[in-house]
Structure 1
């Protein structure tokens, strides 16, 4: 080091080492886990953190997981068992009013000691199949946080290396999927302990002053780059609003989301004042663990997307620093204890979509049209003949809106999620379920535009034995918006079919609905809005869409002004005339 600065070569070496440690932690976690939500979907996050709980590095997991871990650590600091860390400690934490994202996301923290002194933390989070809540896997219709299952607040699974057998026995008797829960926690412990060892090895190689000096420089660099991007946005207050369907119980009450993005110089504030009051179900959002990280995610995606950067930014705390968040206490984005807050994901996605909409007039080259901006999270469950539960958590894809230079991606995860789909072969091998349909929607068309919206997925799961399903989703009523002359997209829907073939239309959210043997649930994701004037879409591209069954001849004529013959060829002269008519 010279003048307190790490030389550029060493800085890059340490940057790469830190990121590799986080990636290795994530890899160990999902490879060692047993439940499909972790092993296949990778609903996880992992990273290293300093004594001030700054993110030094993060794995490429789900963005919400990563941004939330500093909140977990600040919460643990308020309630840590015994009040102090010791070598050999392993802490478990998931309390949503002590910084957690929501209760099923268990966090495991291992303190990093070097030469007898606490220097940082290795931590990860993972979504668990069942933590003993009121309904298997997912919960919506519950009165308070105590109905969400086991709540851990800074509790030591291991204390000075000694296993807390009583706590493990407690976990074993308070989960419907106890074996998976225990084994997945063990995988988290292995991941966090590995991260701690790797950080100690890095400190052995370069020393504390150099490693943390480099980490601070990297955070400052990321902050500077984020502030530079924010400074390119004209100062101003930018507004957008939308509505959530309901709170999962009160079907006649739509819930407003109001977003004001205040840009001042190189800083930005997201103000959610005016959004719905907290609700008497689990459809609330923990402020520290979910609302704030969702806002961070929005600006990281808009301003520092690797596709738009010459050099990828080191993933660390620096990207969070220029962003502040306001949500009044008692609102859906900042509930007051002990309100339930497990079903919190779709609200965050919709809020991110509205941040995009608010900024679209001044960032047209970086924003999209309306996205599906929801999440289909389904929990299927049943009892085996032995009396044991089986529980399966499934995340279904949505679609993005049209983009400045390309169509919206079809059947893709939603904004701040980064989970993979669960292979249907894996499903059939392990559970009494069959996937009858898994494809792009063909009952509606996405928003037309110079760049069309993405097409949502449809997936039908059928139970071979009787069981139940709980489903968390959104956007059955609020249509994804079109941008810059593009047309609106399509809302989603859910259908339940009984064994005799009777179809029932369902709301987006429902709790513990019985499915008989042979009964099924079909989820239809919303389709994205279009970006730009549909009449500017090349006629040949519209023809390709028709040939691919992404568009009909009738829709091509009505929305795009493209005339396609019954023989599926392009009539160029008729198209020119039709487009002249539509332009007036």
Structure 2
């Protein structure tokens, strides 16, 4: 079926565009079924994509979207650096160099050209997180590195398959550098995925014609660009800024800030990262590829739920960044931990800017969400399995992070990690059958969800011990971010979700309990022994028989003032053990009777007391150069916190109706600010790591004390803020 010079008709376009999407999904299924890696099988930590001849993204598979976002950069590097070896039909190239397009060393990416009768008509790609990359420590995260050369295998684009034949010398070279033999099977899984993708695209061309397939690829990009530009034109113009943090760089407990200033004007978005910290000496940095992948991921999920995720979206975005910063590091800065430090924290900062913008538009307000579990982590144990083979395993339960609260309902408990669009987490029995460990418990973490009118989704906690290891020991290390402060920030007055916590208990009686058939502990507090709180990045340590290793991860941020939550929902949360009775009384202001039901009169009194306590502690904000103002016409609102009437010239509290100021005034000067400890949002908010650097900045109405915004603040850091320059006329309230 030949294509005309006009655009493809809508029916043909939809059929073939969705066929391309299904090919990327089939590639991912093929990859994961061939790979024996627990990271893929238990976490779906992979990506697939189809691209045009120049590398422009057309379709991305439903897995780790950050990995999919960088495959065009891998294609670009392959084209630039592989001219001397040729790019032929049937070739496959492999690359994991963060300075050439990968996000970090553990993400091996493979790309292959697609030819039709000697014409290059596109590329396909697959990427997946590997169990090991060599380097100083097992698992791909070497905590004490100071440059990229110490982080293990780093491949520029290398021809892995030559005209359909595997280059066994290259595969042997890769296997010679890594500890876990399953890496070889994983690489072959990527080859199988690309062979499947090539075959399916050729079948599509044979059925529909090459010109039609090429036209659909181009039209998919045009469609995404046009639809996103239209959506942006419907949203208010303005500037939003958020600041996020990375704690500990592997060498010291230094704090690094990521500052994102998002400007929306007309049909375009600009993300400016001026003010971001210089790149670190340790492994937390990301290269430009990680920065771009992070911003695109935040935009896809917040703005493009019904728009193809491809080059058309990228065409609507401008990135302003300076090389040599923590999320755009300069060679040879280490960056093996990019995905779970600078990349995801960049997502958080971009996400909150986007969610604040969506809250300002009534048509799109329901799409606004608080930040999901603000970081990922890499708990790694390694050694010899009970089956006699060497291994390096990343414990993937943290992929069950808490979902951010929505403007109309709670976030989903253990919903997933935000950049994984097909979330998954390991089955405990499978883990125990594969590795010499025994899990004592894995359960939802009480009080972890960010408090709010709508609560953030809960995270979880777990503990495991060595079991049936041939040497009665393993090696353990940990790479994580967000222990001293949470990164899952709330919106509209919602509070942040839990931070991470890492610990071990040594000198336990676990071995004796197992020998005697006694019950095993089901909570950290029930484990006898010496508790040690571990830093968020700690080097390889011995996991000896009887030692218990524990960690919990970040939950979702909340939406709206917790004092506005339905008391009956709080009572239900207490009964479900999602919220403690202490948090119900001190954070939500809900008093329960002896049967666990809400005491309505006592709750009303308690909430009034908490509001008055806020006002008593409140001071005038230190405004500095921050301006929060509004321009437009008609009547507008920012979620439920602010009501703006341009005709009457007022900005009112959305709760009590108090007039704060005129729209053109600096609203910040008319609010009150409460400096509160992070634990005001609940336990596990960094108290085990607290050295006095972080606090909650609660902005509230000067009349009723209702929360307008809650920020995680570091003294001396830039303030988050927003300024709306204009609303489109069609968005005015009736």
2:344 corresponds to: 349
2:570 corresponds to: 542
User: Is the CA contact 1:257–1:276 (under 8 Å) kept in the aligned structure 2?
Assistant: yes
TM-score by length of 1: 0.93
In terms of mean alpha carbon deviation, does 551-560 or 132-141 score higher? Answer: 551-560
Q: Which string of whole-angstrom CA distances, capped at 9 and with x for unpartnered residues, describes residues 240-285 of structure 1?
A: 113211212112x211111111212111121112111111222110
2:451 corresponds to: 448
1:519 corresponds to: 547
Query: Hey, what's the Cα distance between the residues in 1 that align with 2:448 and 2:43?
Result: 28
1:263 corresponds to: 264
Query: Hey, what's the Cα distance between the residues in 2 that align with 1:576 and 1:534?
Result: 13
Q: Which string of whole-angstrom CA distances, capped at 9 and with x for unpartnered residues, describes residues 94-118 of structure 1?
A: 1111111111111122221111222
User: Is the CA contact 1:349–1:414 (under 8 Å) kept in the aligned structure 2?
Assistant: no
1:291 corresponds to: 291
Aligned partner (choices 490, 493, 516) of residue 485 of structure 1: 493
- Deviation of 1:572 (Å): 2.7
Aligned partner (choices 434, 437, 443) of residue 441 of structure 2: 437
Aligned partner (choices 573, 576, 601) of residue 573 of structure 1: 601
1:309 corresponds to: none
Of the two, which has the highest radius of gyration? 2
CA pair 328-551 structure 1, distance change in 2 beyond 3 A: same
Q: Which string of whole-angstrom CA distances, capped at 9 and with x for unpartnered residues, describes residues 472-530 of structure 1?
A: 21111223434323334332211022243221101112221222122232112233332
User: Is the CA contact 1:242–1:478 (under 8 Å) kept in the aligned structure 2?
Assistant: no
1:238 corresponds to: 240
User: Is the CA contact 1:81–1:155 (under 8 Å) kept in the aligned structure 2?
Assistant: no
CA RMSD of aligned residues (A): 2.0
- Deviation of 1:388 (Å): 4.9
State the secondary structure of the residue aligned to 2:195: helix
User: Is the CA contact 2:356–2:491 (under 8 Å) kept in the aligned structure 1?
Assistant: no
CA pair 164-138 structure 1, distance change in 2 beyond 3 A: closer
CA pair 428-161 structure 1, distance change in 2 beyond 3 A: same
- Deviation of 1:43 (Å): 0.7
Query: Hey, what's the Cα distance between the residues in 2 that align with 1:150 and 1:566?
Result: 61
User: Is the CA contact 1:259–1:355 (under 8 Å) kept in the aligned structure 2?
Assistant: yes
CA pair 238-434 structure 1, distance change in 2 beyond 3 A: same
CA pair 111-579 structure 1, distance change in 2 beyond 3 A: same
CA pair 88-551 structure 1, distance change in 2 beyond 3 A: closer
- Deviation of 1:561 (Å): 2.9
- Deviation of 1:12 (Å): 1.6
Query: Hey, what's the Cα distance between the residues in 1 that align with 2:459 and 2:490?
Result: 16
User: Is the CA contact 1:449–1:532 (under 8 Å) kept in the aligned structure 2?
Assistant: yes
- Deviation of 1:331 (Å): 0.8
Aligned partner (choices 15, 19, 25) of residue 17 of structure 2: 15
State the secondary structure of the residue aligned to 1:137: helix
What are the residue-to-residue correspondences of 1:489-504 with 2, within 5 Å?
Answer: 489-500=497-508, 501-504=529-532
2:534 corresponds to: 506
- Deviation of 1:387 (Å): 8.2
Structure 2 unmatched ranges of 5 or more: 360-364, 509-528, 613-734
Query: Hey, what's the Cα distance between the residues in 2 that align with 1:386 and 1:554?
Result: 47
Q: Which string of whole-angstrom CA distances, capped at 9 and with x for unpartnered residues, describes residues 384-429 of structure 1?
A: 5998522111231332332211112222323223441111111111
User: Is the CA contact 1:75–1:100 (under 8 Å) kept in the aligned structure 2?
Assistant: no
What are the residue-to-residue correspondences of 1:145-544 with 2, within 5 Å?
Answer: 145-178=148-181, 180-251=182-253, 253-288=254-289, 290-305=290-305, 312-345=306-339, 346-364=341-359, 365=365, 366-383=367-384, 388-395=389-396, 396=398, 397-418=400-421, 419-442=423-446, 444-464=447-467, 465-479=472-486, 480-500=488-508, 501-544=529-572
State the secondary structure of the residue aligned to 2:202: helix
State the secondary structure of the residue aligned to 1:210: helix
Query: Hey, what's the Cα distance between the residues in 2 that align with 1:18 and 1:107?
Result: 20
State the secondary structure of the residue aligned to 1:17: helix
User: Is the CA contact 1:372–1:475 (under 8 Å) kept in the aligned structure 2?
Assistant: no
In terms of mean alpha carbon deviation, does 266-275 or 359-368 score higher? Answer: 359-368
User: Is the CA contact 2:47–2:62 (under 8 Å) kept in the aligned structure 1?
Assistant: yes
In terms of mean alpha carbon deviation, does 423-432 or 164-173 score higher? Answer: 164-173
TM-score by length of 2: 0.75
Q: Report how many aligned residue pairs link the two structures.
A: 574
CA pair 384-399 structure 1, distance change in 2 beyond 3 A: closer
CA pair 360-515 structure 1, distance change in 2 beyond 3 A: same
1:308 corresponds to: none
Instruction: After the TM superposition, list the runs of 4 or more consecutive aligned residues in structure 1 that deviate by more than 4 angstroms.
Output: 384-388, 580-584
CA pair 370-42 structure 1, distance change in 2 beyond 3 A: closer
CA pair 388-555 structure 1, distance change in 2 beyond 3 A: closer
Query: Hey, what's the Cα distance between the residues in 2 that align with 1:190 and 1:404?
Result: 43
In terms of mean alpha carbon deviation, does 550-559 or 490-499 score higher? Answer: 550-559
State the secondary structure of the residue aligned to 1:173: helix
- Deviation of 1:327 (Å): 2.1
User: Is the CA contact 1:137–1:391 (under 8 Å) kept in the aligned structure 2?
Assistant: yes
Query: Hey, what's the Cα distance between the residues in 2 that align with 1:544 and 1:66?
Result: 40
User: Is the CA contact 2:439–2:462 (under 8 Å) kept in the aligned structure 1?
Assistant: yes
User: Is the CA contact 1:285–1:335 (under 8 Å) kept in the aligned structure 2?
Assistant: yes
- Deviation of 1:136 (Å): 0.5
CA pair 116-524 structure 1, distance change in 2 beyond 3 A: same
CA pair 17-243 structure 1, distance change in 2 beyond 3 A: closer
User: Is the CA contact 1:458–1:522 (under 8 Å) kept in the aligned structure 2?
Assistant: yes
